[in-house]
Amino acid sequence: MHMLTSLALNDFSIAESLLDICLQLTDAGMDDDSAALVSSDGVLVCSAAAWQLHSLALVNVQQLQQLRQLSVRGYLLADARDIRSRLHDADAARQRLHQPNPLHLDHTRAQQALEDLVEQALQRDASDIHLLFDQQQASLAFRVHGRMVGRVARSRETLAAAIAAALNTRSDDFHELFDEQRLSSASINLNLVMHGQPQRIRLRVQKSPTRNGFAVTMRIQCEQPQVANLQQLGLAPSLVAQLQQVLRQPAGLIIVAGPTGQGKTTTLAALNQELPRSYKVISLEDPIEIIQPHIEQKPVLAEHPELNFANMVKVALREDPDVISISEIRDSATAKAAYTAALTGHLVTATIHAHDCFGVLQRLFDLGVSAAALAQPGVLRAILAQRLVASACIDCQGNGCTRCDQSGVGGRRVMVELLVADRALCRALREERLPELRDSLIESGWQALDSQLQESSPCV
């Protein structure tokens, strides 16, 4: 039996006379992923579980179909998540026509709608979900391997209700009434089952008003059960050897840099796994994304008066650590706390948002850590700046196909530059001659990230 893609199913018009019976069957089958709909031209579309577990109910649907003068024209398979989405959107459209007030989606359906959306994103290996609401509908897209794919129109009411319900019931930091025209940031916690395994998901939600509606961006953060090592990240053996040498230093700052979504957290976890088991490593994270064996991981709330990064670094220092890992240096207090920890004899690994290695130094200056402070021997050990760049889809070689959502991208590979803090860097910091040092390094063969990115022509 032919399996419909989500895009193909989106083109199906649903028979309104059979919408209620299909909703009842699908709502009853949420636990076992059963779902069914009948198109306006008489095609019965079901999930595999519905065919297997609810054959009698499907016979009843077909009988009703014939009683209502709608012939049975065929049978198709589709994913239960996609079928539920189409049913909920059709129900929302029907109620919008017949009710003067905005739709308030049933709480269970709202919950399921968000879970389905996140599962669709995870199946695509998406890092973010993007929603743009206008007065009539919602536009949905996923960011996959750095590209925006899967753009479709969805019911405004269904998705707005799903987000509002999740913020009100599944968020530990959303403390206001849902208002489309208010700027707000929050997190949503979900527990899903993917491929038969429980999966804890945290969504970082940013909502902001637009000209004729509002926009929502949801960053997907999964708790990963395994940590990739430096070799598995695709780093060159010579680079891995340099990083391992740096990690053998007793104290100092090791910083991983890059923009959002460039794999910094994964690299930071890989660095931590290189440390000896005999070390006490305290990792401060907002949120905890990757389960790191043998490491004491502590959750941090960036805006909390006590559980913020800067204060938690001070707490960690009182707990006799060998290494402190900071998931992100994002403010002056955290930057100074990290510097103090390195200065007082601790190894500190951290991430920061910056363009490249020399951009990290400028970022630290901006956050109040002076060049003279960083130039002190043993304080700064190394900076690794990285980017994830697109690789062509193996099926279509970059031309676009259903496997890659027509993006031509099948994955991403890492590109890095490494700046090890030596005497030359310390001298350039003291003398404020960083541009001259960078030029000198490039002349001597240092692989700057910018030049690597320019030489790497886009695959699509």
Query: Is 157 inside any structural domain?
Result: yes
Instruction: Name the pairing type of β-strands 323-326 and 281-285.
Output: parallel
- The answer to whether residues 189 and 334 belong to one domain is no
Which one of 70, 101, 132 terminates a domain? 101
- The answer to whether residues 389 and 248 belong to one domain is yes
Query: Is 249 inside any structural domain?
Result: yes
Region 249-256: mean pLDDT is 97
- The answer to whether residues 46 and 136 belong to one domain is no
pLDDT of residue 400: 83
- The answer to whether residues 314 and 284 belong to one domain is yes
Report the chain's C-alpha Rg in angstroms.
Answer: 26
pLDDT of residue 399: 84
Query: Is 111 inside any structural domain?
Result: yes
Instruction: Name the pairing type of β-strands 36-38 and 43-46.
Output: antiparallel
69 vs 42: CA distance, rounded Å? 10
pTM of this prediction? Answer: 0.77
Asked whether residue 97 carries a pLDDT value surpassing 80, the answer given is no
Query: Is 368 inside any structural domain?
Result: yes
pLDDT of residue 199: 86
- The answer to whether residues 182 and 95 belong to one domain is no
- The answer to whether residues 295 and 258 belong to one domain is yes
Give tens-digit pLDDT for 336-348. 999 999 999 999 9
Peptide bond into 287 cis (omega under 30): yes
**Residue pointed to by tokens 């996609």:** 82
Write out the DSSP string of 345-384: T-EEEEEE--SSHHHHHHHHHHTT--HHHHTSTTTEEEEE
- The answer to whether residues 153 and 92 belong to one domain is no
Query: Is 72 inside any structural domain?
Result: yes
Percent of the chain residues topping a pLDDT of 90: 70
Q: What Å distances lie between residue 406 and 36, 117, 148, 153, CA to CA?
A: 27, 20, 10, 17
How many distinct structural domains can be found in the chain? 3
- The answer to whether residues 336 and 259 belong to one domain is yes
Q: What Å distances lie between residue 311 and 282, 305, 338, CA to CA?
A: 14, 8, 11
Give which of 406, 425, 412 is closest to 453, Cα–Cα. Answer: 412
Region 287-303: mean pLDDT is 89
251 vs 348: CA distance, rounded Å? 7
- The answer to whether residues 91 and 129 belong to one domain is no
Residue 436 sits in a domain of what CATH number? 3.40.50.300
Which one of 199, 222, 245 terminates a domain? 222
- The answer to whether residues 203 and 351 belong to one domain is no
Query: Is 229 inside any structural domain?
Result: no
pLDDT of residue 37: 96
Query: Is 302 inside any structural domain?
Result: yes
- The answer to whether residues 215 and 320 belong to one domain is no
Domain span at 83 = 1-101
pLDDT of residue 71: 86
pLDDT band of residue 103 (cuts 50, 70, 90) is very low
Residue 188 sits in a domain of what CATH number? 3.30.450.90
Which one of 101, 119, 149 terminates a domain? 101
Least confident of 33-47, 85-99, 318-332, 338-352: 85-99
User: What is the sign, positive or negative, of the torsion defined by CA atoms of 260, 265, 266, 267?
Assistant: positive
Query: Is 201 inside any structural domain?
Result: yes
- The answer to whether residues 255 and 270 belong to one domain is yes
